[in-house]
Amino acid sequence: MNLPNSITFSRLLGLPFLLYGLHNPTDRMRWICLAVFLVAAGTDWLDGYLARKLNQVTDLGKFLDPLVDKFLVLAPLLALIQLGQVPAWGVFLILARELLIAGWRINPNLTGSTKISGANLWGKLKTVSQILAIALLIAPTPNSWETPSLVAFWISVILTWISGAIYLWPQKSTQPAVKTSGLTVE
Ligand X SMILES: O=P(O)(O)OC[C@H](O)CO
**Site size for ligand X (CB under 6 A):** 11
> How would you class 5 by CB atoms within 10 Å of its CB: exposed for 0-12, middle for 13-18, buried for 19 or more?
buried
In the list 5, 65, 91, 153, the residue contacting ligand X (rule: CB under 6 A) is 65
Question: CA-CA distance, 83 to 65, in Å (whole number)?
Answer: 28
Query: Which residue is at the shortest CB distance from ligand X?
Result: 123
Query: Does 101 help bind ligand X (rule: CB under 6 A)?
Result: yes
Query: Does 163 help bind ligand X (rule: CB under 6 A)?
Result: yes
Question: CA-CA distance, 79 to 137, in Å (whole number)?
Answer: 11
DSSP string, 41-57: HHHHHHHHHHHHHTT--
Give the Cα-Cα-Cα angle 164, 110, 74 (nearest 5 degrees). Answer: 35
Query: Does 44 help bind ligand X (rule: CB under 6 A)?
Result: yes
Query: Does 47 help bind ligand X (rule: CB under 6 A)?
Result: no
Q: In the bound complex, what is the minimum distance in angstroms from residue 165's beta carbon to ligand X?
A: 11
User: What residues make contact with ligand X under the rule CB under 6 A?
Assistant: 44, 65-66, 69, 101, 119, 123-124, 126-127, 163
